Structure 1
Amino acid sequence: MKDRNVGDVEPVSVTRRAVLGTGAGAAATTMLPLPIRADAQEGMVPPSSLVETGTTIRIATTVNSQFVEIDIDSRASLLDMLRERLGFTGTKKGCDHGQCGACTVHVDGRTALSCLTLAAKANGRTVTTIEGVAAGDTLHAMQRAFIDHDALQCGYCTPGQVMSAIACVRQRQATSKDSIREFMSGNICRCGAYVGIVAAIEAAASEMQEG
């Protein structure tokens, strides 16, 4: 029997399903609601219309059913406001050029690339991020379908994929695999989980339409 050196450990067998299960669990944690960050609460101001104050502007918006009034840099993107000021980090910064779809959110119910959208454009509007689609601890039908159909690997693009997928169904574009692929073409998955993504959308579409 070969002598074992100090520090040697027994090899661990890891299956693909175990890895996917761990990744799915990690991705699911970004899908649940998060409270607005404390420093954002401190930055809120009395109700008013959009007011320009030099390079700072004051906006009033609703994010994931929470009314927010906050002073922001007039050049700030919606993505940076959501992540850095309000703490909704489920929305990811990918390419920062509107080409990968990782930053997709809903503004007044329609998809928007938050990296290309000025935060000022959210004034008076309703914004929904991945944290806002679940009902408490109960995941949205689309979120469950992504997990059930292994429609993710690393999970980084998953929040944006889910937001676009929900819009795909709501806009009645989930009528065929080709239609789904066309609608989802702006969302890139570098891991190549496209087969699972299409299957998840098909599965969730039935449940969402029945609901």
Structure 2
Amino acid sequence: MTPLENELTALKKELVSMWILVQSQLNKSKEAMVNFDKDLAREVLVKEKRVNSYELKIDRDCENIFALHCPVAIDLRFLLAALKINTNLERIGDIAAGIALYVVESTVNFDLKALDNTEVIRMYDEAINILLDTRTAFEKEDTVLARSIFKRDDVLDDINMAAPETVGELIKADISSLPEALYILSVIRKLERVGDQAKNIAEEIIFYVEAKILKHFESSQSGELGIED
């Protein structure tokens, strides 16, 4: 392997390691919310510093590769994609930490029935699975799997759209649940953004593998994507 190939391989491994850490953060923030585990939530907050360190390290490595090797073609596309994916993963880490902070700050336990009725747990599971599949698509350069993310994000969007009504019903049933309901609504809003970040990552995978820039995406029954070379 050439020096450039070695550095790109190391960069990809580093990005995957960050991915795994962010997945762990998202899983732990869910567990902390469901079990109202403040200690686990604090662990997520502490490890957010590691996510930030990964982002800075990957950014520096990308800059060094640009400066030393002047990559072209697919190597250049990979580096450009890696920079953006790095940012998307850091933002998902921020989301996980934000939810963990809700658990730390909340004075009331999250009622499992309320979480079920508002579909927060379903939304969380789907967000985690989407993030896992974007990583698989990245590692295997699987653009078919990457494209599937766009449709699957509709689940998160639908739950988010229904959230004001479902959370409103929760408050109507028991006005004392207002603080809990507001936290749940905030969690739903944050999880919807996980889907947005995952779609951005999917776009970058398609870009570097196929040299295609995804300009527009419209959810339709045909599932077609508007793609330009």
Task: Tell me the TM-score range normalised by the shorter chain.
Answer: under 0.3
Query: Which is helix-richer, 1 or 2?
Result: 2
- TM-score normalised per structure 1: 0.28
- TM-score normalised per structure 2: 0.26
Query: Which is strand-richer, 1 or 2?
Result: 1
